[in-house]
A and B are shown apart, each in its own frame.
With several copies, the nearest count.
Chain A
Amino acid sequence: MSATTTAKRKKTGTPNRIGLGLDPYRGLKTTLCAGCGHNSISERIIECFFEMGIDPTQVVKLSGIGCSSKSPAYFLSMSHGFNSVHGRMPAVATGAVLANKQLLALGVSGDGDTASIGLGQFVHMMRRNVPIIYIIEDNGCYGLTKGQFSATASRGSLTKTGISNDLAPIDSCGLAVQMGATFVARSFSGDKKQLQAILKAALSHRGTAVVDVVSPCVTFNDHVGSTKSYKYVRDNKIPLQSIGFVPFFDEIHVEEDFAPGSVREVELHDGSLLRLEKLEEDYDPTDRLKALGRIEAAVEQGQIITGVLYVDTEMPSFTEMLNLDDLPLAQIGPERLRPPQSALNEVMTELA
């Protein structure tokens, strides 16, 4: 494991493909905790959208409620944003792309937002293949409300207040593959290279692209599989526990050369270990059944499999299915929105 220092804001250098510098891709200063995995993800979004030369005015960034859901304020300042309600961002995003199918929708959610309160909407969004990049910043807990379990918390883990979780975690990727998402990937907030690559791939996908990013909460969560070590480590490293004290941590990054096909252990801030398994380069992500099997197998081995797990490029997206006008609905003028007098006359005659 290697933890490097927080990715520093890059200086605005040469402009990108569409002539913009890095600045429009940045957002406000983060108000998340130092060392929060969510910040690394924001950095990757900034870099990736800049490098791909995406026009930020044609992007909408949407979220629910949570630390993760706050993060759209911290990137793409030139894009419209919508911080909606807890767990129900998928519906809002669906509506937005209906209104304007040309928009590139970027959804950012948390594991609580997606897998607890928002599970139904998450599934139905995937089922519709709504065109969106849907990022789950997955820390296995509710960061913003101070560390309770979410539905992706691993069985047996403990909260700060000592409550243990008896329930099995929901594997968002497994669920996504099964429920019809057409692009499913998983990464780790600290794996710059992989996460960037996945985001870029997601950008070229037409339907729902689910990207589950393991993103440790440095403040509340003794992460995945860390049950045993948590208390020990905490008690030893930090000599006292004080209400509301959030120690300062650096963000975690794994080395850039973490190779496809290999397994890497990452030590989290509390000393617990994360076992990341990166898909081999020749993995075929178009086989739905195999993807499901692979995900389940990793779960059984206590590993977190990362990479692009599944892709289906055939399935039309929701806005395609609806056969919408070439012009975004939001831009169609009154003359086409209101049928002519003759149409009303026609109906009136029928009803008379």
Chain B
Amino acid sequence: MHDVNVAPVEEPVSQTLEEVVNDFSVHVATVNGSGSQSSNLILLRALFEMGIPVSGKNLFPSNIAGLPTWYTIRASKYGFTGRKKETDVLVAMNSQTAEEDVESLSPGRAVIYDEPLHLNDLRQDLHFYPVPFDKLVAPVCPAPKLRKLVRNIIYDGVLASLLGIEMEEIRNAILKQFKTKPKAVELNWNAAVAGYDWAQEHLVKKDPFRFERMEGNKGKIIIEGNAAAALGAVFGGVSVITWYPITPSSSLAESAQEYLKRFRIDPETGKATFAVVQAEDELASIGMAIGAGWAGARSMTTTAGPGISLMSEFVGLAHFAEIPVVLIDVQRMGPSTGLPTRTSQGDFLSAATLSHGDTLHPMLIPATPEECFEFTAKAFDVAERIQSPVFVMLDLDLGMNYWTADKFEYPDWEMDRGKVLSEDDIEKLLGNWGRYRDIDGDGITYRTIPGNRHPQAAYFARGTGHDPDANYSEREEDWIRNMARIRKKMLGTRRLLPEPVIDDNPNARFAFVGAGTSNEAIRESRSQLLLEYGIETAYCRVRGWPFSHRTEDFIARHKRVYVVEQNRDAQLRTLLRRQFPVIHDHLRSICYFGGMPLDARTVTEAVVEEERL
């Protein structure tokens, strides 16, 4: 059997008492709406400032307040910041899940918990630290309504004491978080100190987990992928953004709007070089983006699975009428409404050939914030170059979680506005222009932008059959010629897309192919395979579809290639097989579709089973 569907696998129990420094996970269980996001971010930022490679993942329900939520922080001195499946340090603040959370731990782990929950009775093989949050919160927070919130900052202090997080950095993080609100800074700082002091006095360190300053974050930033993509749009020169709210993509549009307001409004006149429109639904948002792209704007829309489905008809129009538009799909778990707050890579297939009839839409697939920034900016160039919809495929894990990243490089390339004819250009062509005439032989034709004042500039865009001059045509030859040209154009697109990142290895026993956020898990799994099994592997991370020939060559070089992806039906492998049928039998599949950010252990276990290691 070549296909493995990965169910969660338990890591082997480790009872070690040796110190574990800068290489463990902290898992905070709270109640949604209790404001724990602030305290978790403060934690994350403090660790970041201590120079420890770190990531934070929010495992939240589709709910506003009341349901259980978790935040999991992964620190790794080796720089593996994918999710760690195992929890090492649990902070149990939520009575609804506390028992289950504790039960799921491996022996030797640490539990900080709210004293009244009495979790220490549950197991003997863990290190328990009860904390009387209610008692601690009252003196530092006079307003009862806010205590629910302030309790959470207290655990930051407790963790600082227990794990060796520098209080100085906690303070800096609080300052950063509440910069404009001195009252809030004070309240939170007092709470953190209360937690810290109390823990120093009352808790005896028993567990092996400890943080220590290192130098891992020189020149780095912390950012969510959505904000990175938003910046990419802003620095990519977007001029029209249309969107409809949907998790997990809303924050992309919202932060783009904020950055645009900041950098793209003339401070003197107050006038904007952009428009951001919240549409009435996804049919309208894609329709507006297409209208704007047709009329010469750099336009984009952002959405998630249900929106992609609704946009299907319109995307076919843009493809066929050859209108540039960028679509960002921040993938969440489908089908249907599915799990709106869980991550997935389940839209590859639908995006690639969205809409009825023969269609192809290029995809750019970033795996890091840097790539979110760069690829989003580039997507506009690709879209305007090929005059077609272009997808940027993020996912919830990448988009909504905080990642450390290198500072983004200012885009040094010139914007490519594609084959656009000015009044003068038309004049020079002496009437020898047709909107859909393939003059250059690359399938890409020249367009004019409405408003062009040349009397011959106008053409008629349509979703119906047309001849090279954009006249309505039902002629068989016109149709075939046009469709063949469009295919040629689309296949040529691969040269414009980011090349795969290949880590080849002559000693590789087998290879991995992955895309997007599977990257962290694959990287770490390769290290696990090497350290634990002595097995070397190769790795090709694809970053664009249609795939590059380099990907084909890579697969051809390796007899067993595991395609790792986060969906049920091996969608990435399906696309690989479709494009490279000849090497189809090299491709195996590791599919995880549980909605959590993929972790390395899951990949390793699956490979170990397949390879019978």
Bound complex: CA A55 to CA B290 (Å): 24
Bound complex: CA A243 to CA B402 (Å): 14
Name the residue in A80, A91, A243 with the highest tally of chain B Cβ atoms < 10 Å from its Cβ: A91
Choose, from B204-212, B455-463, B539-547, B578-586, the stretch at the interface. B455-463
* In contact, B284 and A124 (Cβ under 8 angstroms): yes
The answer to whether A262 has its CB under 8 Å from any CB of chain B is no
* In contact, A239 and B143 (Cβ under 8 angstroms): yes
- The residue that A322 contacts in the complex, of B65, B244, B272, with Cβ under 8 A, is B272
* In contact, B271 and A324 (Cβ under 8 angstroms): yes
The answer to whether B496 has its CB under 8 Å from any CB of chain A is no
With a CB–CB cut-off of 8 A, which chain A residues contact B414?
Answer: 334
* In contact, B237 and A348 (Cβ under 8 angstroms): no
Within 8 A of A (CB), among B136-171: 143, 145-146, 148-149
Q: Which residue of B lies closest to A148 (CB)?
A: B245
Given A95-B240, A244-B35 in contact, is the A73-B460 Cβ separation under 8 Å?
yes
The answer to whether A211 has its CB under 8 Å from any CB of chain B is no
The answer to whether A178 has its CB under 8 Å from any CB of chain B is no
* In contact, A91 and B296 (Cβ under 8 angstroms): no
Given A95-B294, A148-B250, A244-B35 in contact, is the A88-B235 Cβ separation under 8 Å?
no
* In contact, A344 and B291 (Cβ under 8 angstroms): no
With a CB–CB cut-off of 8 A, which chain A residues contact B254?
Answer: 161
Bound complex: CA A40 to CA B321 (Å): 29
With a CB–CB cut-off of 8 A, which chain B residues contact A34?
Answer: 65-66
Bound complex: CA A28 to CA B67 (Å): 14
Within 8 A of A (CB), among B431-486: 448-455, 457-464, 471-472
* In contact, B459 and A146 (Cβ under 8 angstroms): no
- The residue that A92 contacts in the complex, of B149, B258, B282, B291, with Cβ under 8 A, is B291
* In contact, B272 and A325 (Cβ under 8 angstroms): yes
Q: Which residue of B lies closest to A79 (CB)?
A: B458
With a CB–CB cut-off of 8 A, which chain A residues contact B258?
Answer: 161
With a CB–CB cut-off of 8 A, which chain B residues contact A102?
Answer: 451
Bound complex: CA A323 to CA B15 (Å): 64
Bound complex: CA A324 to CA B266 (Å): 10
With a CB–CB cut-off of 8 A, which chain A residues contact B115?
Answer: none
Shortest Cβ gap from B219 to chain A (Å): 8
Name the residue in A84, A247, A332 with the highest tally of chain B Cβ atoms < 10 Å from its Cβ: A84
* In contact, B455 and A57 (Cβ under 8 angstroms): yes
* In contact, B281 and A99 (Cβ under 8 angstroms): no
- The residue that A82 contacts in the complex, of B188, B221, B294, B448, with Cβ under 8 A, is B294
Bound complex: CA A209 to CA B188 (Å): 50
Choose, from B127-135, B404-412, B517-525, B591-599, the stretch at the interface. B404-412
* In contact, B273 and A329 (Cβ under 8 angstroms): yes
Choose, from B4-12, B102-110, B176-184, the stretch at the interface. B176-184
* In contact, B236 and A338 (Cβ under 8 angstroms): yes
Within 8 A of B (CB), among A322-340: 322-326, 328-332, 334, 336-339
User: Residue-by-residue, is B258-302 near A (CB-CB < 8 Å gives 1, otherwise 0)?
Assistant: 110011101001111111011111111111111111111111000
- B contact residues, total (Cβ < 8 Å): 114
Q: Which residue of B lies closest to A27 (CB)?
A: B460
Bound complex: CA A301 to CA B317 (Å): 43
With a CB–CB cut-off of 8 A, which chain B residues contact A142?
Answer: 245
Choose, from B36-44, B76-84, B86-94, the stretch at the interface. B36-44
- A contact residues, total (Cβ < 8 Å): 91
* In contact, B450 and A344 (Cβ under 8 angstroms): no
The answer to whether A100 has its CB under 8 Å from any CB of chain B is yes
With a CB–CB cut-off of 8 A, which chain B residues contact A67?
Answer: 64
With a CB–CB cut-off of 8 A, which chain A residues contact B314?
Answer: 85, 88
Q: Which residue of B lies closest to A163 (CB)?
A: B257
* In contact, B458 and A245 (Cβ under 8 angstroms): no
* In contact, B460 and A330 (Cβ under 8 angstroms): no
Q: Which residue of B lies closest to A151 (CB)?
A: B280
* In contact, B461 and A88 (Cβ under 8 angstroms): no
Given A81-B460, A99-B240 in contact, is the A91-B287 Cβ separation under 8 Å?
yes
* In contact, A120 and B187 (Cβ under 8 angstroms): no
With a CB–CB cut-off of 8 A, which chain A residues contact B219?
Answer: 352
Q: Which residue of B lies closest to A77 (CB)?
A: B458
The answer to whether A315 has its CB under 8 Å from any CB of chain B is no
Bound complex: CA A93 to CA B34 (Å): 36
The answer to whether A232 has its CB under 8 Å from any CB of chain B is no
The answer to whether B63 has its CB under 8 Å from any CB of chain A is yes
With a CB–CB cut-off of 8 A, which chain B residues contact A324?
Answer: 271-273, 275
Q: Which residue of B lies closest to A249 (CB)?
A: B145
User: Residue-by-residue, is A336-352 near B (CB-CB < 8 Å gives 1, otherwise 0)?
Assistant: 11110101100110011
* In contact, B34 and A245 (Cβ under 8 angstroms): yes
Shortest Cβ gap from B180 to chain A (Å): 9
User: Residue-by-residue, is B401-424 near A (CB-CB < 8 Å gives 1, otherwise 0)?
Assistant: 000000110110011010000000
The answer to whether A103 has its CB under 8 Å from any CB of chain B is yes
* In contact, A238 and B146 (Cβ under 8 angstroms): yes
The answer to whether A292 has its CB under 8 Å from any CB of chain B is no
With a CB–CB cut-off of 8 A, which chain A residues contact B394?
Answer: none
* In contact, B184 and A85 (Cβ under 8 angstroms): no
With a CB–CB cut-off of 8 A, which chain A residues contact B66?
Answer: 31-34
The answer to whether B33 has its CB under 8 Å from any CB of chain A is yes
With a CB–CB cut-off of 8 A, which chain B residues contact A73?
Answer: 460, 472
* In contact, B297 and A329 (Cβ under 8 angstroms): yes
- The residue that B280 contacts in the complex, of A83, A124, A161, with Cβ under 8 A, is A124
The answer to whether B220 has its CB under 8 Å from any CB of chain A is yes
Bound complex: CA A239 to CA B142 (Å): 12
* In contact, A100 and B451 (Cβ under 8 angstroms): yes
Q: Which residue of A lies closest to B247 (CB)?
A: A145
* In contact, B184 and A80 (Cβ under 8 angstroms): no
The answer to whether B306 has its CB under 8 Å from any CB of chain A is yes
The answer to whether B242 has its CB under 8 Å from any CB of chain A is yes
Bound complex: CA A290 to CA B583 (Å): 73
User: Measuring CB to CB, which residues of chain A are less than 8 angstroms from any residue of chain B?
Assistant: 24, 28, 31-34, 55-58, 60, 62, 65, 67, 72-73, 77-88, 90-100, 102-103, 116-117, 119-121, 124, 142-146, 148-149, 151, 161, 163, 219, 238-248, 322-326, 328-332, 334, 336-339, 341, 343-344, 347-348, 351-352
6 contacts across the A-B interface (CB closer than 8 A): A117-B280, A161-B258, A246-B32, A330-B449, A337-B264, A339-B264
